[in-house]
Amino acid sequence: EIHDCRRRGLGTLLYETGALWMHERGLPFYASGIQAKEAKDSWASLTSRGLVKSAKEGEHVRRIFDVDALLAERPELYPLNLTPDPE
């Protein structure tokens, strides 16, 4: 049986987690220039929440996930703990 998981926040949660993981490593989390409709919708939602900033790189403007804005909104997310608990 296939379940439709669209519009339940999973994509947003994955973007938030990925952005935090990259932030901990000193890396920016960019939006891709080529996106499926669902990804575009997720980035539009993030933008409406104030979690996306723009940066000019040469002739192009890149969208970057604003981790500082995310942590101001949800400070409980940091520090990110993705390491498994010792057994």
Query: Each residue of 55-86: pLDDT tens digit?
Result: 888 888 899 999 999 999 988 887 776 665 55
44 three-class SS: helix
What pLDDT does residue 87 have? 60
Tokens representing residue 80 in the block: 């990110």
Show Cβ contacts of residue 56 under 8 Å, excluding neighbours closer than 6 positions: 62
Q: pTM to 2 decimals? A: 0.77
Instruction: Give phi and psi for 81, each to the nearest 5.
Output: -120, 95
Is the pLDDT assigned to residue 48 strictly greater than 90? yes
Q: Is the dihedral of CA 68, 48, 18, 57 positive or negative?
A: negative
Query: Residue 28 to residues 33, 41, 61, 79: CA-CA distances in angstroms?
Result: 15, 20, 14, 17
Tokens representing residue 2 in the block: 């296939």
Average pLDDT of every residue of the chain: 85
More confident call, 53 vs 81: 53
